[in-house]
Amino acid sequence: MEIPFHKEYHFEQELEYVKDAFDIGVTASDGKYTSKAKALLKDKFGFQEVYMTTSATHALEMAALILDFKQGDEVILASFNFPSAANCIVLRGATPVFVDLDPKTMNISPKEIEKNISSKTKAIIVMHYAGIACDMDKIMEISKKYKLPVIEDAAQALGSKFYDKNLGSMGDMACISFHSTKNVIAGEAGCLIINRKDKEWLKKAEIIRQKGTNRQDLINGKVSKYEWVDQGSSYCPSEILMAVLCSQLENFDRINSNRKKLAGVYLERLNKKKYKNYFRPMILPEYANSNNHIFYIITKNKIIRDELQIFLKKHNIGSAFHFIPLHNSIMGKKYGFDCNKLKYTDNLSQRLLRLPLYNSISEKEINYVCDYIDNFVGEQIL
């Protein structure tokens, strides 16, 4: 048996919707399926305002433009992160301030956020790793105390909750990814969510995504022609991407319940005392209701992680570690960060291993993966 680390999953209805977009004759942005995708996201997850983009990366870049990041500003974020979160900062000339994580969740530590706030701090970006919620109560308390906007990087977290609140609905802004590696996919797409009722932000968002023009005013009949009015870029996704996304969003409950069941198999098989000297499964805090985007284990040390990955590969089972901490990256080192500063990030990032979890994997295949993990541990004992 061969089990890849990841595999895309599609619904038959996607082809029907794509054909419909072609038949309508509008494959550029802001047509029927863009409107439908926005409505589905707002109705299902309670987001205030949604702006469809070509990626979550572009959604973060839009947020940086709306908040006017500039030289001299600092933005706090976890170092255990995807580069897009830092790129949206450095592209504006601002400085990323990398902080340590909570060792239980792999998410940004609220204590470390507050410890690193300065007079230069412009905003806080919090990523919900693996679809597991950050401690949003503590983070929003810090936000209120220091009057700092919070951007939720919910790229991995559509459908996850902090208690009963959907992730992406709590911060001032949020981004979500519909990349082909996510639970709900469109190949390449994303969205920016604005939850604060700020007319200036909403106006800027429309201008920015429309290449810095007032094209939306033309569409709404407010002007007779549109022109360049501010900074912006081309962030609007095609109707083809949105047609695929609509089908996926309509099947969200099916996707979500299936992944919950599959992750439960991993947890039942791997959360056992006999493995405690070799690894522990991921921890779900009591406030988090996860979408089960990722299932990972934390091994006792890097050697065990690397040997287990080699062992699984030998038996045709895919697995993967994850981010190289940004402060340890080539780009991060240009900012002169102390590589010994973030002890949990440095340590845990070298011990994390992601196991196969995707919409079409079966319980039988997950049990097969777990059997070989058990075989690996058995060989270590011998």
Q: What is the CATH number of the domain that holds 187?
A: 3.40.640.10
Instruction: Please indicate, yes or no, whether residues 269 and 228 belong to a single structural domain of this protein.
Output: no
Query: Structural domain of residue 291, as residue ranges?
Result: 252-380
Instruction: Please indicate, yes or no, whether residues 187 and 314 belong to a single structural domain of this protein.
Output: no
- Give a yes or no: residue 321 inside a domain: yes
Task: Average pLDDT across each block of 10 residues of the chain; the chain has 382 residues. List them in order.
Answer: 97 97 94 97 97 98 98 97 97 96 97 97 99 99 99 99 98 98 97 96 95 91 94 96 98 98 98 96 97 98 98 98 94 74 94 98 98 94 62
Instruction: Please indicate, yes or no, whether residues 165 and 36 belong to a single structural domain of this protein.
Output: yes
Nearest CA to 377 out of 306, 276, 275 is that of: 275
Output the domain CATH number for residue 269.
3.90.1150.10
Instruction: Please indicate, yes or no, whether residues 171 and 218 belong to a single structural domain of this protein.
Output: yes
d(CA 101, CA 132): 13
Backbone dihedral angles phi then psi of residue 363, each to the nearest 5 degrees: -60, -35
**DSSP structure class, residue 62:** H
Q: Name residue 202's amino acid.
A: L
- Give a yes or no: residue 355 inside a domain: yes
- Confidence (pLDDT) at 335: 77
Instruction: Please indicate, yes or no, whether residues 220 and 274 belong to a single structural domain of this protein.
Output: no
- Give a yes or no: residue 4 inside a domain: no
Instruction: Please indicate, yes or no, whether residues 217 and 284 belong to a single structural domain of this protein.
Output: no
Domain count, the chain: 2
- Confidence (pLDDT) at 340: 58
Instruction: Please indicate, yes or no, whether residues 167 and 113 belong to a single structural domain of this protein.
Output: yes
Instruction: Please indicate, yes or no, whether residues 170 and 203 belong to a single structural domain of this protein.
Output: yes
- Give a yes or no: residue 64 inside a domain: yes
- Give a yes or no: residue 317 inside a domain: yes
Instruction: Please indicate, yes or no, whether residues 95 and 194 belong to a single structural domain of this protein.
Output: yes
Confirm whether 182 is a catalytic residue: yes
- Confidence (pLDDT) at 339: 56
Among the candidates 212, 229, 246, a domain finishes at 246
Catalytic residue, from 36, 38, 182, 204: name it: 182
- Give a yes or no: residue 18 inside a domain: yes
- Confidence (pLDDT) at 142: 99
- Give a yes or no: residue 258 inside a domain: yes
Strand spans (E) along 33-188: 49-53, 74-78, 95-99, 121-127, 150-153, 161-162, 165-166, 173-177
Among the candidates 194, 229, 246, a domain finishes at 246
Instruction: Please indicate, yes or no, whether residues 197 and 299 belong to a single structural domain of this protein.
Output: no
Instruction: Please indicate, yes or no, whether residues 268 and 234 belong to a single structural domain of this protein.
Output: no
Residue whose entry in the numeric block shows the structure tokens 């419909």: 20
- Confidence (pLDDT) at 341: 80
d(CA 299, CA 294): 16
* Cβ pair 214, 207 in contact under 8 A: yes
DSSP letters of 75-115? EEEESSS-HHHHHHHHTTT-EEEEE-B-TTTSSBPHHHHHH
- Confidence (pLDDT) at 380: 82
Residue whose entry in the numeric block shows the structure tokens 């990626």: 55
- Give a yes or no: residue 225 inside a domain: yes
**Coil, helix or strand for 31?**
coil
Instruction: Please indicate, yes or no, whether residues 222 and 268 belong to a single structural domain of this protein.
Output: no
Among the candidates 229, 246, 263, a domain finishes at 246
